[in-house]
Amino acid sequence: MAIHAMAVGSSLEFRREGSIAGYLTCHLAHYSGSHLAWSVGVFAALGAIAEMRSRCRMIGCVVAASIVIPLAVEAFSPSLERYRGMSGIDTALFMLIAIDLAKENRRIAWASGILMAGLAGKLVFEQWTHAAVFADSSGGGFVPAPVAHLAGAAAGVVWALMAGRGPALHNCNDIVGQVSQPRDADIECKRLLED
């Protein structure tokens, strides 16, 4: 929020002719207070849910989405000159949670399917109208970037489907076993993510 208040967003955004740093910092920059509030609010809610389920998987999903999104914007949205926001990361977390819930409990898989269909409808609407569903895109002077949301969704899907394929992609508590303190699991999680 301090970044938005200091009005340095343009120096952090992804630009086609910009610096490499923009690939990493674009998720911190936003176009308006509304854009920032929606992005951070959704990230806080979904991030908390994902972290309660598995800190390792939440961090891995966020990192994967953070890398994939600006690359996808560059590759698949040639008319988009600049990009800011973390809604693609929000989308990744949404998909991670929705797929995890569907995999864990087949009886509620239909609810996850409805939520994912709603997300698909949102993306189609934004692509068709060039207006954001939640944030005030016209007041913020930006056009939504559905490709960023699709890339985030893909990262979330891949991360969710890779669960259990290797120790670094599974729940830290399952890897470490019965840990005496949550801090031990955090240390092990960090070690696994570095491997």
For residue 101, give the CATH number of its domain. 1.20.1540.10
In a domain, residue 190? The reply is no
In a domain, residue 189? The reply is no
Residue in the structure block whose two tokens are 């920059």 = 29
Look at the chain and report how many structural domains it folds into. Answer: 1
Query: Which pLDDT does position 180 carry in this prediction?
Result: 38
Query: Which pLDDT does position 162 carry in this prediction?
Result: 84
Q: What is the pTM of this model?
A: 0.74
In a domain, residue 194? The reply is no
In a domain, residue 59? The reply is yes
Domain extent for 8: 2-163
Per-residue pLDDT tens digits for 138-164: 555 666 788 899 999 999 999 999 865
In a domain, residue 195? The reply is no
Query: Which pLDDT does position 175 carry in this prediction?
Result: 42
Which are the contacts of 3, defined by CB distance < 8 A and separation ≥ 6?
A: 9, 12, 28, 29, 30
Residues in the chain with pLDDT values less than 50: 1-6, 165-171, 173-183
In a domain, residue 173? The reply is no
Query: Which pLDDT does position 79 carry in this prediction?
Result: 80
